[in-house]
Amino acid sequence: MSPRHSAAEARNTRERIIERGVDVASVEGFEGLTIGRLAADLGLSKSGLLGHFGTKLALQLATLERAAVIFNREVWAPASGATPGLPRLRAVCEAWISYLVRGVFPGGCLFVSATFEQDGRTGPVRALLRRQFRTWQRRLTAEIRTATAAGDLPSETDACQLVFELYGVMI
């Protein structure tokens, strides 16, 4: 009979799996994120690793959700204390550039690579990725509109176009 593991040990193992999953996905994409690969990397059995997620898809979704938490921590949180509008928009852009320059993910921005990998596909991974981007677009658009209303940006500023251009620069 094998020893029982505590709930804390199970959470720690799950966290290790997800963290390694983020690293692998940033370098190799979500197709490279396999149960066998992660099990080998972490010294776990495939069945033991699968027991934490149930399916490869659940692992991919957990990985993408964790990557969003990291992005929010690195980009949105540092800017949250700035004054709404142009000061916050600048703070977000500075944090975003810092995130890219520092190479927070070992393979570069996981979201850029995932966007290209998922282009033309359907399914839950692409759907979650699109929801994440829409959330960030709404936040950027709101800051641009606040800056425009405050007179910090020209009144004819097209917030949606500026968000599109910011994405283009960052990608």
Complete domains list, the chain, with CATH? 7-170 (1.10.357.10)
Instruction: Please name the residue that has the structure tokens 């963290």.
Output: 19
pLDDT at 9 over 90: no
**If you average pLDDT over residues 44-66, what whole number do you get?**
92
Mean pLDDT along residues 84-92: 95
Would the pLDDT of 10 be above 90?
no
d(CA 145, CA 54): 43
pTM (predicted TM-score): 0.87
Among the residue ranges 7-11, 77-81, 146-150, 165-169, the one predicted with the least confidence is 7-11
DSSP 8-class letter at 84: T
Contact between 100 and 170 under an 8 Å Cβ cutoff? The reply is: yes
How far is Cα 45 from Cα 51, in angstroms, rounded to an integer? Answer: 10
90 burial via Cβ count (<10 Å: 0-12, 13-18, 19+) = middle
Residue type, 158: D
Q: Which residue has the tokens 């359907």?
A: 122
